[in-house]
A and B are shown apart, each in its own frame.
Chain A
Amino acid sequence: MTVTREPRLDKPPPGAAAAGPHGDGRSGTVDFDQLYHAHFRALTIQLTAYCGDLPQAQDLVQEAFCRAFARWSRVSRYDDPVAWVRRVAWNLATSRWRRLRTAQSFLHGQRLEHVPGPDPDRVALHAALAQLPANHRRAVVLHYLADLSITEIAAQEDVAEGTVKSWLHRGRAALASQLAATSEVNNRD
């Protein structure tokens, strides 16, 4: 298995690392529980940055892991199983067909309740990300939060590397100018 450069933010809960009672999902070369615990948080944060909604991002990542588990005997043998999970989660997030109607109406207006305490930096980044076209936002998030290379982003998005470079360049410049403006305002207060 390729060691992914994705930041490993998660630790399994106490006791979970020990061999559990689950016979299924443990026959592959990669342990499903380990993969889940190692990547769930990082993937959720990426998708939160993309879609601006933490509970929705959690649902998408959980769904991606469900799909991975449903075909675990195969996914576990891929070179980089987390790339599969990440791609599925992003596909779900960008799918025009996804069942979001219920989730959206429920989540609307509840967004802030899930944020633990005010954090000007995060709100500023959230607002700045929301201004970006979706393609630019995906490229920037995959670059800064998933630590993917241009080549990897191009592969995931199924576009040319030059396109990714352009998205990244424009997205980054727009973010920087927004954030610089925000920090100026904050500093004056």
Chain B
Amino acid sequence: MTEYEDRLVDAEFTAYRDALVPAVQPAGPDAARATVRRRRHRAIAVTAAAVVLAVAVPVAGRAALDRQPGPPDPGPAQTVEPSPTGPGSPSPSTAPSSAPPTSSPTGSPAGSAGAEPPAAPDGRISRAQLLAGKVTLPAWSPDECQADGAVRLRKADDDVGEPALVSLAHGDVDADGADETVALVGCRYGEAVGKQVVAFDRDTAGRIVTLGRVARTGEGQRDILAYEVTGGGSVRVRVADIQPCCDVPTYLTRDQWRTYRWQGGRFTQTGGPTAFGPDGRLTDLTLTAGELVLGTPDAAGKRTGSLTLTVVNKGPVDVPQLGFSSLGRLGERAGGDFAQCRDLPAVGPYWADCVTGGLPAGERRSWTFRFLVDGPTSDGGATAVRVDHYDAQNKGWPDLTQLDNAADVRTTN
């Protein structure tokens, strides 16, 4: 790399830029506004569809909506019974760390029905109280947020790096006979929000103290969709593997209910799966491409050529439909296996040039497409084409190994 080369390339780009500037025709910011307005109207019009509703409802709303799914909590009975020993029995623990490692419904000395007020501090904190002063937050996943320690929670998670209170619930999670407050807090990073489920209590002086973190988002579990405190004092959290943003389809998300209990001074998982594992809906496709060899030009200067693409489905999942993309960049369709191509109905954000029949796991298949190419082609130029997995509902799916789904096609004479 000589300085001459650098200057040559730089000068070419400058000339390129100067020549192209007058040709650019911006549609204008008003057009962008109009587009966004139109999309919003359209979004409102289709909110009746359940799928869209699930996307549009914010997390706080989902926490309320999604109570019913998931296995029943294995925890004990729903009510805390008055202590058989009655008032005057040893006071329940006031310090969370000295709470019994496991709770039983009858083991909580403090009664809710008794005449005596519960001796444990009331950890039932309102939204306004939680927002009123600083609270101590456990550490976030370092790649998501740095604002832990004493912070004042915001009302909304609009600001990057500023923790906010998303929602809260109440329940006796440390079996002291009094309710604590379980809150979902969020901290925005870009288009996504880091989240933690945190339990708060009060100390004997009535100050808000942090009991501990129930669960947080991070590598491998990027979203918390819902949570609830069960009657047995467990906290159930609905964790998702990804937090889809922007163009990522929401159907890629997998979610699990996981159960946590306050044991030995911290929350530990007592139920539900502990990891998502590999996504059993995905498979490994591999594409290999030959060259697009062009014949001699016809009277109009157009040339035809054939390209053979071979796809192997290494498994483990059968693919109902295969979609090829970027074929249109090679030339016009001129027969061959283009006859098999179907257009994909516009049901999702995914799109392919040509959708063809499927490929069971473990099988290999080749297609030969014929192209009509107009005018001179840049000799040796490569165009990347790729193959993707579509299901029977025309939804596109990522691949277990994305890199080998694409192959460079060289056009030669």
**Once the chains are docked, how many angstroms separate the CA of A180 from the CA of B20?**
21
**Chain B positions 282-335 with a Cβ under 8 Å from a chain A Cβ:** 325-326, 328-329, 331-332
**Chain B positions 14-29 with a Cβ under 8 Å from a chain A Cβ:** 15-17, 19-29
Query: Are B19 and A119 within 8 A (Cβ)?
Result: yes
The interface residues of chain A lying within 8 Å CB-to-CB of B388 are 96-97
Main secondary structure of the interface of B (DSSP, over half): mixed
Give the shortest distance, in Å, between B157 (CB) and chain A (any CB): 10
Of B82-90, B111-119, B267-275, B379-387, the segment with at least 4 beta carbons within 8 Å of chain A is B379-387
- A108-B10 contact in complex given A9-B21, A169-B1, C-beta closer than 8 Å: no
Query: Are B378 and A45 within 8 A (Cβ)?
Result: no
Query: Are A54 and B12 within 8 A (Cβ)?
Result: no
Query: Are B381 and A122 within 8 A (Cβ)?
Result: no
The interface residues of chain B lying within 8 Å CB-to-CB of A114 are 23
Query: Are B25 and A144 within 8 A (Cβ)?
Result: no
Give the shortest distance, in Å, between A4 (CB) and chain B (any CB): 16
Query: Are A130 and B381 within 8 A (Cβ)?
Result: yes
**Once the chains are docked, how many angstroms separate the CA of A73 from the CA of B30?**
17
**Once the chains are docked, how many angstroms separate the CA of A9 from the CA of B16?**
13
The interface residues of chain A lying within 8 Å CB-to-CB of B325 are 96-97, 100
Q: Give the nearest-CB partner of B349 in chain A.
A: A97
Of B31-39, B95-103, B176-184, B226-234, the segment with at least 4 beta carbons within 8 Å of chain A is B31-39
Q: How many positions in chain A have a CB within 8 Å of any CB in the partner chain?
A: 68
Partner of B23, one of A67, A104, A109, A115: A115
Query: Are A176 and B5 within 8 A (Cβ)?
Result: yes
**Once the chains are docked, how many angstroms separate the CA of A145 from the CA of B16?**
9
Query: Are A98 and B26 within 8 A (Cβ)?
Result: no
Partner of B396, one of A77, A97, A133: A97
Query: Are A101 and B352 within 8 A (Cβ)?
Result: yes
The interface residues of chain B lying within 8 Å CB-to-CB of A98 are 351
Query: Are A122 and B9 within 8 A (Cβ)?
Result: no
Interface membership of chain A positions 41-72, coded 1 if the CB is closer than 8 angstroms to chain B and 0 otherwise: 10011001100001000100010011111110
Any B CB within 8 A of the CB of A172: yes
Query: Are B8 and A73 within 8 A (Cβ)?
Result: no
**Once the chains are docked, how many angstroms separate the CA of A140 from the CA of B16?**
13
Any B CB within 8 A of the CB of A90: no
The interface residues of chain B lying within 8 Å CB-to-CB of A126 are 16
- A180-B378 contact in complex given A44-B24, A115-B23, A134-B384, C-beta closer than 8 Å: no
Q: How many positions in chain B have a CB within 8 Å of any CB in the partner chain?
A: 60
Any A CB within 8 A of the CB of B203: no
Partner of B16, one of A109, A125, A130: A125
- A179-B12 contact in complex given A24-B33, A70-B36, A101-B353, C-beta closer than 8 Å: yes
The interface residues of chain B lying within 8 Å CB-to-CB of A167 are none
Any B CB within 8 A of the CB of A14: no
The interface residues of chain A lying within 8 Å CB-to-CB of B350 are 97
Any A CB within 8 A of the CB of B246: yes
**Once the chains are docked, how many angstroms separate the CA of A24 from the CA of B158?**
17
Query: Are A45 and B329 within 8 A (Cβ)?
Result: no
Any A CB within 8 A of the CB of B247: yes
**Once the chains are docked, how many angstroms separate the CA of A97 from the CA of B383?**
16
**Once the chains are docked, how many angstroms separate the CA of A36 from the CA of B31?**
11
Any A CB within 8 A of the CB of B143: no
**Which A residues are within 8 Å of any B CB, using their own CB?**
7, 9-10, 13, 22, 24-25, 32-33, 36-37, 40-41, 44-45, 48-49, 54, 58, 62, 65-71, 73-74, 77-78, 88, 95-101, 104-105, 108-109, 114-116, 119, 121-122, 124-127, 130-131, 133-134, 140, 144-145, 169, 172-173, 175-177, 179-180
8 closest A-B pairs by CB:
A176-B5, A104-B328, A144-B13, A36-B29, A99-B351, A40-B26, A121-B15, A33-B29
